[in-house]
């Protein structure tokens, strides 16, 4: 297939300072939960982006000094010469595919607690540090000597980055995480010297560091600036007009402007709350201020939209973090005319959660993400079959679809049986809930790929039994039959089932997704799951004119979504919709006209009037068929929620893992299924 001429502009080379990028695809810096701890895995992941056609591939934030320590988060470090070889490995993997390697040098100012180094944090002005855990630490205000030392440290890091082989060396003033943004913003700069007060003064340090970096490495390297266009703090924080004024002051100084929003939750909004291109209103005025290339992001997955923003002069290069995670080969697929093969980002932010959990990056759409080195997985390539065998996969949810797709790609004959009239399992059900329509892409992409595989056949409305399984006569059987939400209050708080009055029979998410509704308008939702489901169902019922009270043992609604950057906006939306939120309480009993609440701190109990209850607590694997097959002497494997209920991303990964391992000798329980990096002591 050949490229559609409409997209030719995306493949035009562009100058960035002394460099030339081969196309307009720019993987902006993004975190990944691997950093200095998993350097080989990180290097392989960045190299995969380059192989997939991204002309520029950048690191995440890189601490330039031991006073920039953001532990426990696992980013990269460039504290001394000892860090150069590790970083060089990343640059080398990017260069192996003729892409440019970018490095985001960073000092995080008051957002760096220095928990590992135990150094006293410093900031533009004295203030408490900002951290996920609200550490009891304060940053001291910087004096002139500190500012000079910061400039020296940044310059030294730039020289080290050049020695490591990086082509683009960043000055970072974005996301509320860069100290140069802290100086620029009135929200964090209360100084009354030449570095505070007027915009010119507040921009002084940023200008000086750009000049320092250009002087140090600008002969061979490009110097981009990543800057926050909006802080969403009203008049006290940065707003687009003021940032544009700051950019105009130094418009031609850097080699590229990389535009973002602040804080990170604004920059990486989920598809539940924003559309593709949501940042355009904030960044569209910058291009007229400078002749230098402008990069922006907005979860772009449509080539037509990409062309539009370039032709309209909004940006020169298409920046991407999450779309490059979902499909590292997105540029190549556009270039080769394979648009329907693009795995479009669903905007769920499962990738982001693993920076907060300090664990390797993963993706709902792309199960190979983070596994390139650890398991040797490739997003586009999988080894051929070991033998001509037939696999029966039962259950066409996310795990079954991915297992069937990957097995078919390997060349196995696959029969995929689904008892319902629709493939997709929980993905099909959940994507019909408010704000989650983009999640259907998980199902749709895999169904499209299955249609291209002649060795895979999908059978809908096929409720399998041991007799039918035996009749199929497959060489192997895989069960991916999902899980069912419980209605007996079992969850994190109530570890055992709670006996309840049958007259107020609880509904579950499965019931609501199947179309059932509470008989009463007065509904209590008990959310002991703490991810998105409880909040989504509250929104669903309120919009259908129910009066909803959401009870949660957590102090926050959907508390895990702090890690997906959604928690504040979820709780704000529910409050705006009139949902009554009762935090720090659990439902421990159900009576005909009320539920019993228990305070998680004191154990004190109190009744809450209720006409209906929806339990969002835990799920139980639908493994009845597996037990039946075992009883009939038919061996079968399990994967996804029917083996261990978890996220959609985990189910997709489990499907890929089965397909990768199929045909291999059985692995002993004591053997690791992946590689890890271990420090050798000398």
**Residues carrying an active site annotation:** 31, 172, 175, 267
Handedness of CA 343, 347, 352, 357 (dihedral sign): negative
Rounded Cα distance between 295 and 568, Å, is 28
Bridging pattern class, strands 122-123 and 637-638: unpaired
| 317-320 and 483-485 strand pairing | unpaired
What phi-psi label fits residue 109: left (phi over 0), alpha (psi between -120 and 50 degrees) or beta? left
Backbone torsion region of residue 234, taken as left when φ is above 0, otherwise alpha when ψ lies between -120 and 50, otherwise beta: left
Q: Give the position of tokens 């030392």.
A: 149
Please check whether residue 303 is in contact with residue 337, taking contact to mean a CB–CB distance below 8 angstroms. Answer: no
Report the distance separating Cα 133 and Cα 142, nearest Å.
24
Alpha carbon of 678 to those of 36, 39, 80, 128, 376: distances in Å?
12, 11, 20, 36, 17
Q: What is the CA radius of gyration of the chain?
A: 26
List the one residue out of 79, 177, 171, 172 whose CA is nearest residue 131. 177
Contact 327, 379 (CB under 8 A): yes
Q: Which residues have C-beta within 8 Å of that of residue 448, sequence separation ≥ 6? A: 340
Label residue 337 left, alpha or beta by phi (over 0 means left) and psi (-120 to 50 means alpha). left
Beta 594-599 vs 585-590: how paired, if at all?
antiparallel
Q: Are the C-beta atoms of residues 158 and 91 closer than 8 Å to each other?
A: no
Q: How many CB atoms lie within 10 A of CB 196?
A: 16
Place of tokens 């799920």: 619
């Amino acid at each position: 297939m050949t490229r559609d001429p409409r997209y030719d502009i995306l493949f035009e080379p562009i100058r960035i300072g002394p460099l030339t990028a081969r196309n307009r695809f720019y993987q902006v810096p993004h975190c990944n939960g691997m950093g200095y701890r998993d350097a080989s895995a990180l290097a392989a992941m960045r190299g995969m982006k380059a192989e997939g056609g991204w002309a520029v591939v950048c690191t995440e934030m890189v601490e330039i000094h031991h006073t920039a320590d953001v532990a426990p988060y696992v980013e990269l470090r460039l504290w001394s010469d000892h860090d150069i070889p590790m970083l060089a490995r990343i640059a080398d993997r990017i260069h192996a595919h003729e892409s440019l390697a970018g490095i985001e040098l960073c000092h995080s100012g008051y957002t760096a607690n220095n928990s590992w180094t135990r150094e006293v944090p410093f900031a533009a002005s004295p203030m408490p540090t900002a951290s996920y855990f609200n550490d009891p630490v304060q940053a001291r205000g910087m004096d002139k000597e500190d500012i000079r030392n910061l400039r020296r440290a940044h310059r030294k890091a730039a020289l080290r980055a050049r020695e490591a082989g990086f082509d683009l060396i960043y000055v970072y003033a974005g996301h509320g995480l860069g100290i140069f943004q802290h100086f620029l913003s009135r929200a964090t700069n209360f100084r009354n010297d030449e570095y505070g007060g007027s915009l010119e003064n507040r921009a002084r340090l940023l200008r000086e560091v750009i000049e320092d970096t250009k002087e140090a490495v600008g002969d061979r390297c490009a110097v981009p600036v990543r800057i926050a266009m909006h802080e969403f703090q009203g008049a006290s924080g940065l707003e687009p007009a003021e940032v544009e004024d700051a950019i105009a002051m130094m418009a031609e100084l850097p080699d590229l402007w990389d535009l973002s929003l602040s804080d990170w939750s604004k920059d990486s909004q989920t598809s539940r709350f924003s559309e593709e291109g949501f940042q355009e209103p904030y960044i569209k005025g910058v291009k007229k201020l400078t002749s230098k290339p402008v990069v922006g992001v907005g979860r772009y997955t449509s080539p037509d939209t990409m062309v539009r923003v370039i032709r309209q002069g909004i940006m020169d290069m298409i920046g991407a973090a999450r779309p490059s995670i979902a499909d590292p080969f997105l540029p190549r697929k556009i270039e080769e005319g394979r648009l329907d093969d693009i795995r479009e980002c669903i905007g769920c932010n499962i990738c982001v959660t693993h920076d907060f959990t300090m664990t390797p990056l993963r993706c709902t759409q792309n199960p190979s993400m983070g596994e390139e080195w650890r398991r040797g997985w490739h997003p586009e390539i999988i080894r051929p079959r070991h033998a001509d065998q037939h696999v029966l996969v039962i259950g066409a949810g996310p795990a079954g679809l991915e297992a069937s797709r990957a097995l078919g790609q390997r060349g196995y004959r696959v029969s995929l049986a689904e008892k319902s009239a629709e493939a997709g399992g929980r993905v099909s059900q959940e994507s019909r809930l408010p704000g989650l329509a983009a999640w259907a892409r998980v199902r749709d992409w895999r169904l499209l790929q299955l249609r291209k595989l002649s060795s895979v056949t999908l059978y809908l409305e096929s409720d399998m039994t041991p007799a039918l399984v035996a009749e199929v006569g497959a060489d192997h059987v895989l069960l991916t039959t999902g899980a069912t939400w419980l209605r007996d209050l079992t969850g994190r708080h109530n570890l055992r089932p709670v006996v309840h009055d049958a007259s107020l029979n609880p509904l579950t998410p499965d019931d609501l997704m199947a179309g059932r509704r509470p008989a009463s308008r007065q509904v209590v939702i008990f959310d002991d799951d703490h991810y998105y489901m409880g909040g989504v169902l509250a929104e669903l019922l309120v919009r259908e004119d129910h009066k909803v009270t959401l009870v949660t043992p957590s102090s926050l609604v959907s508390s895990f979504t702090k890690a997906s950057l959604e928690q504040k906006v979820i709780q704000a939306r529910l409050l705006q919709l009139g949902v009554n939120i009762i935090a720090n309480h659990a439902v421990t009993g159900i009576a005909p006209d009320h539920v019993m609440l228990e305070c998680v701190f004191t154990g004190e109990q109190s009744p809450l009037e209720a006409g209906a209850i929806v339990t969002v607590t835990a799920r139980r694997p639908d493994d009845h068929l597996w037990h039946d097959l075992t009883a009939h002497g038919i061996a079968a494997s399990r994967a996804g929620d029917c083996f261990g209920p978890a996220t959609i991303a985990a189910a997709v990964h489990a499907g890929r893992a089965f397909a990768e391992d199929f045909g291999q000798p059985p692995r002993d329980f004591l053997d690791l299924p992946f590689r890890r990096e271990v420090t050798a002591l000398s």
